[in-house]
Structure 1
């Protein structure tokens, strides 16, 4: 699969527009920032228009010549235009276009040398200036040098206005604001504010846009919010979510929640930790996982999503897991996606090999790993990003951790600590199964999100890396675990 160049360029232009205000020379005429912006515009317009754009240029030149009547002799230019009608290659058409321009220029030179009345010479000039101006401007498309006032980017000014309106407090001022890179399902922005009604550091977590994100589990922010609140109220170190906003004309864009900023920083990504995990930190992770899995059914969440429903708390564990995997499989097949025979084969294996686990369904975070918990002074301060939260088998969480940070852990010691904190024993076979599922589910999400970039439903440039840097190791990781299971 190749992502179309016009989609990459379109997303690159949007991303660069976001960066322009941060560049020191962004407002200087002829600056490097301005040069890159216009180069992206030219490439995007050329890629998007292609042959059709050049043919349109020929038509508009012909119409302009028709409007000039007898002011110039355009016989040669019309012959060059006619020769281009049968051309299909872009390079050949562009060469013919240059020839047409050269011919038209010679015709004007001849008119300049002729004895033409002043009013006709002025009409010729006006017509040609208007035509050529429009032609050149069409080649660069809309400028990315200026950001639309109605753009969805969060700025200090917009956020200050929003907070003043929300709290009816004109003293509120946003003193710092910066987006957080990383993550593919949400936009995250950290800001600091001073005022009577609100003061300190906070986090905005926002849907990436209408129809752009995944619509399963808790991927939409209005579904994630009650789960975060419920876990926090149970004493679990989830973020302190302060409010949800789905009606925010002063901050156009996706719906969002505002949370109090927790201390610490992310220490790795899905594929592993950035360094070996100290035993004391591994103990904290084991304890917190056991604490999460000990939370009694949160029936107050009601029928929040397809995977958080009242009846799921009382299902046999195997049935609950099968419903979750089938839900994802159906979601993948129904959503716009890039066909993947390998991924469908993985779903077939998973549905044939669901383990018969003992116990009862519990709330699962679904994405525990170094990429989603914050560390400060050797302690975990918060488990963030609950978009994969669902009701399921606690062993799924352990299988996920095993393939993300497992190589950085003394796994036997970790499991002993988890069990000592109240967690259940999980067999190696069950761990491998849920490791395969972790890879398959993340490959599904990556496939769908990257396809939305291709189709134009999403414009987040980082989605372009998913098919190439993420999906292959997901698929290979799942295959290796299945082969290990067969060899066991």
Structure 2
């Protein structure tokens, strides 16, 4: 199948190689190999954009080939710069020091470190001259998830100090003018990330600690925390229905229709009357990739951008994918219930198993649309849309298939 955006995709890879990789390479064979990669990517990009090839006739072909080589040379001669949002987290230390002057003048930033791998938000580590360690979580200009750090700040502030292991939120900056996007400043917690969306180094003991933390989270009362008016769906009659409908509306407005996704939404609507009506605090992205750990101990539950009122089964179904690779799921649930976690029916787990991969399919589909439409041509967005999106559709199909019988996919 011909891909009209193949040239742009190759340009995205080329931009990332030139701006992010090549400057880190020493002179010598590594740099030479990188030059060769650049030349190949530039040529393949131009060839993808000119699939017809040269016109007939020697004079016409001569003109075409000259223009063709000029285009390649122009790409290689252009200044190296990341495409799209790739450079948004390159913020000098003095910019942060100036911002802190109005908050705490004793904070002078000596070192800024960008944490790699952020898909929907950027994470920056700040080290002050006097040894204080802080974390900045920042919105990207083009937010494919539709969420903002401003949404998660009141939730983290409400649960911090109540026994849940979350970083202390110090300041929320709602103006994007300061560093190019809204951001939260946290105290830094000890520990390292426990993996990615697809893999983890967590031990069974860590997973049991993680289960106990989720049980604690799911016992919070939304009203007692004072979050009903600021939490997403906090006042909804049926939070789960409101959540599903909200994303279905966004899906239909934000990307081309996918029959598999339409079928998944139809199945969820059919099952809604059979799962009850829960209204508890839900993290919404409670995977092991959003946890910090030291050995077998969880030190922090991070990234609360998707938090909302809803059903605890959503968080459990979300983390089951990786937890089940580490330990038997029954043992994880035993630790969850031993720590006070509420009962969760098989029907609710089945419902949110489909919801997990449907949600991830929609969000990665938004990234694909953002890239295809030119909103953000960063390599990060290209990879989510062109690599992760198809994988999520595969997982959605595998999760949905055993749930339905004789159900035709919408045309």
TM over 0.5: yes
Q: Does 1:245 align with 2:163?
A: no
Deviation at 1:380, TM superposition (A): 0.5
**Equivalent residue, structure 2, for 1:189:** 124
Change (3 A) 1:482 1:165: closer
What TM-score comes out, normalization by structure 1 length?
0.70
CA offsets, 1:325-369, max 9 Å, x none?
11111111111x143111111111111112644574011101112
Q: Distance in 1 between matches of 2:4 and 2:213?
A: 41
Say if 1:368 and 1:401, in contact at 8 Å, map to a contact too.
yes
Say if 1:206 and 1:254, in contact at 8 Å, map to a contact too.
yes
Q: Distance in 2 between matches of 1:411 and 1:140?
A: 52
**Equivalent residue, structure 2, for 1:5:** 6
Give structure 1 stretches of 5+ with no counterpart: 52-87, 105-131
Alignment of 1:90-239 (within 5 A): 90-92=53-55, 96=59, 99-100=62-63, 139-140=74-75, 143-145=78-80, 152-155=87-90, 158-167=92-101, 173-195=108-130, 199-210=131-142, 212-215=143-146, 219-239=147-167
Deviation at 1:38, TM superposition (A): 6.4
Alignment of 1:16-415 (within 5 A): 16=17, 18-19=19-20, 22-25=23-26, 32=32, 35=35, 39=39, 42-43=42-43, 46=46, 50=49, 89-92=52-55, 96=59, 99-100=62-63, 139-140=74-75, 143-145=78-80, 152-155=87-90, 158-167=92-101, 173-195=108-130, 199-210=131-142, 212-215=143-146, 219-247=147-175, 249=177, 251=179, 253-274=180-201, 277-278=203-204, 280-298=205-223, 300-301=226-227, 303-304=229-230, 308-312=232-236, 315=237, 319-335=238-254, 337-354=255-272, 356-357=274-275, 360-415=278-333
Say if 1:284 and 1:379, in contact at 8 Å, map to a contact too.
yes
Q: Distance in 1 between matches of 2:229 and 2:332?
A: 34
Deviation at 1:304, TM superposition (A): 4.0
Say if 1:286 and 1:417, in contact at 8 Å, map to a contact too.
yes
Change (3 A) 1:486 1:351: closer
Change (3 A) 1:20 1:245: farther
Q: Give 1 or 2 for the bigger CA radius of gyration.
A: 1
Instruction: Please identify, of 381-390 and 9-18, the stretch whose mean Cα deviation from structure 2 is larger.
Output: 9-18
Change (3 A) 1:430 1:172: closer
**Equivalent residue, structure 2, for 1:425:** 343
SS in 2 for 1:239: coil
SS in 2 for 1:375: strand
Q: Distance in 1 between matches of 2:252 and 2:245?
A: 10
CA offsets, 1:210-237, max 9 Å, x none?
4x4222xxx2122122222222243311
Q: Distance in 1 between matches of 2:35 and 2:262?
A: 45
More helix by share: 1
Deviation at 1:294, TM superposition (A): 0.9
Deviation at 1:265, TM superposition (A): 1.6
**Equivalent residue, structure 2, for 1:68:** none
Deviation at 1:486, TM superposition (A): 6.0
- Aligned residues, how many? 398
What TM-score comes out, normalization by structure 2 length?
0.82
Say if 2:233 and 2:243, in contact at 8 Å, map to a contact too.
no
Say if 2:218 and 2:342, in contact at 8 Å, map to a contact too.
no
Q: Distance in 2 between matches of 1:3 and 1:222?
A: 37
Q: Distance in 2 between matches of 1:269 and 1:344?
A: 28
SS in 2 for 1:451: helix
Say if 2:206 and 2:295, in contact at 8 Å, map to a contact too.
no
Say if 1:449 and 1:463, in contact at 8 Å, map to a contact too.
yes
Say if 1:366 and 1:388, in contact at 8 Å, map to a contact too.
yes
Instruction: Please identify, of 165-174 and 459-468, the stretch whose mean Cα deviation from structure 2 is larger.
Output: 165-174
Q: Distance in 1 between matches of 2:373 and 2:57?
A: 28
CA offsets, 1:409-428, max 9 Å, x none?
22222222222222222122
CA offsets, 1:128-187, max 9 Å, x none?
xxxx9xx77983387233689x9954446x232332343268885544333222242112
Instruction: Please identify, of 291-300 and 476-485, the stretch whose mean Cα deviation from structure 2 is larger.
Output: 476-485
Give structure 2 stretches of 5+ with no counterpart: 406-411
SS in 2 for 1:90: coil
Q: Distance in 2 between matches of 1:415 and 1:98?
A: 69
Q: Distance in 1 between matches of 2:216 and 2:181?
A: 32
SS in 2 for 1:414: helix
Q: Distance in 2 between matches of 1:95 and 1:437?
A: 59
Q: Distance in 1 between matches of 2:356 and 2:153?
A: 23
Say if 2:354 and 2:396, in contact at 8 Å, map to a contact too.
yes
